Amino acid sequence: MLILLPPSETKRAGGDGAPMEAATLALPQLASQRAAVADALIALSADEDTAARVLKLSARQRGEVAVNAGLCTSAAMPAIDRYTGVLYDALDAASLDGPARRWLGAHVLIHSAPFGPVSALDPIPAYRLGAQASLPGLPALRRVWAVPVSAALADAAPSFVLDLRSEAYVALGPVPAGVDSAYVRVVSAGADGTVRALNHFNKRAKGDLVRRLALDRPRIASRAGFLRWAQDAGLRTGAGGGTGELELFA
């Protein structure tokens, strides 16, 4: 099983590791796209006013321009520890033991805007770039990433993909057709049985789900296998409204 996670806008600063080594990141066939986006982001950072406008930074966020300028020279830390926010706080990877963290490294890719999907344990720097940003000198990020990421996922040949990304990041690399997969939407059922999608609790439920998987470390090789594990774990699931979708009840 391969799990795809979205990144978070909020990140821990600093790091105690050496700068990122792009050649060691998961899915090395994405090297040229990673270099192109990183170069464009660093070049943009040479002009703080332009960078703030392009990245839609507030006055309080202008320090992010300097963070981007150090993309290839600043200290790195594992991606699963770099990101903060509701999903990653619920996952709480720092509190997991060695086997659980190694399981995350083997089964989880986090889909970043500057680096594409990276392993949960790949060391990355702090940065500021969202999926819908447009960098000078580059096409829209969807055009940079979508086809190469889908091809890289196909090369990885996962038996099953559990897609927990937001729609903005799905657009940067759809799961290839023909791969057994499930796109998860977190929902709740009202007293009248009406099902509605959640926002804040969507992220928390996804973090909780990945934490439970890392602790259980099940052998899941298909959508049916995931549904069996979810049922045994006491989770309620159902068929989603779209093709390949899966509802997870919070």
Over residues 201-210, the pLDDT tens digits come to 899 999 999 9
Q: Are strands 2-5 and 108-112 parallel, antiparallel or unpaired?
A: parallel
pLDDT for the residue numbered 250:
85
Over residues 91-125, the pLDDT tens digits come to 999 999 999 999 999 999 999 999 999 999 999 99
Over residues 190-203, the pLDDT tens digits come to 656 666 676 668 99
> How many angstroms separate the CA atoms of 245 and 169, rounded?
16
Rounded average pLDDT over 60-70: 97
Which residue is it, tokens 């090789």?
Answer: 221
* Number of CB atoms found within 10 A of residue 164's CB: 26
* Collapsed DSSP state (helix, strand, coil) of residue 203: helix
pLDDT for the residue numbered 188:
87
What residues make up the domain containing 88? 2-249
Please spell the DSSP secondary structure of 67-135, one letter per residue: HHHTTTTSB-EEHHHHB-SHHHHHH-GGGS-HHHHHHHHHHEEEEETTTEEEETTSEE------TT---
Enter the tokens of residue 69: 């300028």
Nearby residues of 122 by Cβ (< 8 Å), 6 or more positions away: 24, 25, 26, 78, 79
pLDDT for the residue numbered 200:
67
Over residues 121-137, the pLDDT tens digits come to 999 999 999 999 999 99
> How many angstroms separate the CA atoms of 214 and 145, rounded?
28
User: How many domains in the chain?
Assistant: 1
Enter the tokens of residue 81: 């520890």
> How many angstroms separate the CA atoms of 239 and 222, rounded?
15
Residue 85 has pLDDT above 80, yes or no: yes
Q: Any idea which of 3-7, 141-145, 147-151, 185-189 has the lowest mean pLDDT?
A: 185-189
